[in-house]
Amino acid sequence: MAVTRGEFQSRVGFILAAAGSAVGLGNIWGFPTQAASNGGAAFLITYLILAFVLAYPALMAELLIGRHTHRNMVQALESLPDARPLKLAGKLTGLAGLLTASLILSFYAIVAGWMLGFSASYPLGAAGLMEASEWLVAFTPSRNLFLMLGFMGLTMAVVLGGVENGIERWSRRLMPLLIATLIALAAYVLTLDGALIGLQAYLLPDLGKVLSGDLLLDALGSAFFSLSLGVGTMLIYGSYLSDQENVPRVGAQVALVDVGIAVLAGFLILPAMYVADARGVAIFSESGGLLSEDTLIFSVLPALFETMNTTGVWLATAFFLLMSIAALTSSISMLEVPVAYLIEQFELSRRRATLLAGVGIALFSALVVLNFDALFGLVITISTRYSQPILGIAVCVFAGWIWHRDALLRELNKNDTNAVNGLFWRIWPFYVKYFCPAIIGIIVIQSIL
Ligand code: PHE
């Protein structure tokens, strides 16, 4: 194959890019309220354990297969086995991953577009441009379409730059900005009245709630979505990783950053909700749980910002920019999955591949916008609830059952000649072979039931 492949230029660049993929809307709008409604610190600890015991091994499966083959998901899984039928299975699994990544992007771009809309709406409103400001936050097909296209345009612009000049460069710029904004916002909100009650809700452990089986499965499901597993994003990023890097170590660092930012987001979201409560904004649903997800982001927090006048405009703009950045560093990793395949399979230029994949996904996303009630929830359910965990099992099966053990050891030996005595080699192959597929299987069956 004549195509020269990109490669991350530094370890930090890789970690920021992969953590950028992992840290997304899921971390900030899902995790904190889930933790608060489900036992606070006890949930947090359970989540941390699950992330490292189950999601980390699955992450390693993708990173190692990617780094070993230096190929996109379709060609990587096709190249692992020797037997023909298995090769076909690998190819089909890869294509299903590619399709799922594209489906996830098609709804993600709509939600991320809303974030862009809110972040522009506040400064425009403050400047007196009321009509534009209101248009950007009103739920209309034309506004949804416009913002989705804007966000897809940004995503395509980054991916067009390639691995070093697009993905790595922008991750290196955006991720530190994201972390700094998150810390600054949390530090400010923590000084406001009511914040400490939020902190208590977040951190005081309620052991009774954590031990329910449902909750464990929920936490595991969100750990998988949060680490971008099953759809080839981590695999393709791993394939751009230099042979000099120690994959188990950088993989652990990526997982740490992802989990760390989810935990950090809790120090912003929960205190903010209770500050809102102290100011008379409703933060509980009728069933008594904390409002979460879209209601939290698009009504509770705006109502809070509303009570703060000019400070509110600054806070709101910073907050929605933070969400937009988190979304962008994730969406580029989703788009890279089909783009890398088109480049490597059909020898297209990156420009053509990006245009083809980007426009195709944007068209489908437009279809979702125009048939919102029928399609939006459906696409999310199919891609994240079913497809993602099932593909997660498939990747573990490829890593644990189909990949030859000695080839795996050779892969680990590339930068660690003592790998055979390491903890990773003693534990991971067993884990990824039996434990991960079994547990993910239980999640899938339970979510189907
Ligand atoms: N991890 C991202 C988030 O938390 C979502 C994602 C899923 C990204 C699958 C890439 C692939 O929002």
Nearest atom in ligand 1 to 25's CA: 12
What token pair was written down for 192? Answer: 């406001």
Q: With a 6 A CB cut-off, is 155 part of the ligand 1 pocket?
A: no
Q: With a 6 A CB cut-off, is 226 part of the ligand 1 pocket?
A: yes
State the Cα–Cα distance between residues 247 and 424, nearest whole angstrom.
Answer: 10
CB 226 within 8 A of CB 22: yes
pLDDT score of 214 more than 80: no
CB 387 within 8 A of CB 102: no
What token pair was written down for 323? Answer: 């969400």
Surface-to-core class of residue 343, CB atoms within 10 Å of its CB (0-12 exposed, 13-18 middle, 19+ buried) = buried
Q: What is the pTM of this model?
A: 0.94
CB 271 within 8 A of CB 139: no
The pLDDT value given to residue 12: 96
The pLDDT value given to residue 222: 75
Which residue's CA is the closest to the ligand 1 atom numbered 3? Answer: 24
Which residue's CA is the closest to the ligand 1 atom numbered 9? Answer: 228
- Give, in degrees to the nearest 5, the angle at Cα 20 between 289 and 385: 50
pLDDT score of 290 more than 50: yes
Average pLDDT of the chain, as a whole number:
92
**Which of 181, 215, 187 lies closest to 38, judged by CA?**
215
C-alpha distances in angstroms, 44 versus 39, 320, 365, 448?
A: 8, 25, 34, 26
DSSP symbol at 189? H
| Domain 11-178+204-267+297-448, second-level architecture | Orthogonal Bundle (1.10)
Best-predicted range by mean pLDDT (57-61, 153-157, 207-211, 439-443)? 153-157
The pLDDT value given to residue 2: 47
CB 108 within 8 A of CB 326: no
DSSP symbol at 292? -
CB 252 within 8 A of CB 56: yes
pLDDT score of 76 more than 80: yes
Share of the chain above pLDDT 70, in %: 97
The pLDDT value given to residue 384: 87
The pLDDT value given to residue 366: 98
What token pair was written down for 296? Answer: 């939290």
- In this structure, the number of other CB atoms found within 10 A of the CB of residue 153 comes to 12
Which residue's CA is the closest to the ligand 1 atom numbered 10? Answer: 228
pLDDT score of 448 more than 80: no
- In this structure, the number of other CB atoms found within 10 A of the CB of residue 435 comes to 16
Q: With a 6 A CB cut-off, is 133 part of the ligand 1 pocket?
A: no
Q: With a 6 A CB cut-off, is 97 part of the ligand 1 pocket?
A: no
Q: With a 6 A CB cut-off, is 331 part of the ligand 1 pocket?
A: no
Cite the DSSP H helix spans in 141-212.
141-160, 162, 169-189, 195-203, 207-210
Q: With a 6 A CB cut-off, is 232 part of the ligand 1 pocket?
A: no
Q: Ligand 1 centre and the CA of 29: distance in Å? A: 12
**pLDDT tens for each residue of 228-267:** 988 999 999 999 999 999 999 999 999 999 989 999 999 9
Q: With a 6 A CB cut-off, is 22 part of the ligand 1 pocket?
A: yes
Question: Helix 309-346 vs helix 141-160: angle between axes, to the nearest 10 degrees?
Answer: 60
**pLDDT tens for each residue of 36-69:** 778 788 888 888 888 888 889 999 999 999 999 9
CA-CA-CA-CA torsion for 351, 355, 361, 366, nearest 10 degrees? 150
pLDDT score of 1 more than 60: no
- In this structure, the number of other CB atoms found within 10 A of the CB of residue 209 comes to 15
Which residue's CA is the closest to the ligand 1 atom numbered 11? Answer: 228
The pLDDT value given to residue 336: 98
Q: With a 6 A CB cut-off, is 321 part of the ligand 1 pocket?
A: no
**pLDDT tens for each residue of 330-378:** 999 999 999 999 999 999 999 999 999 999 999 999 999 999 999 999 9
The pLDDT value given to residue 50: 81
Mean pLDDT value across residues 6-30: 93
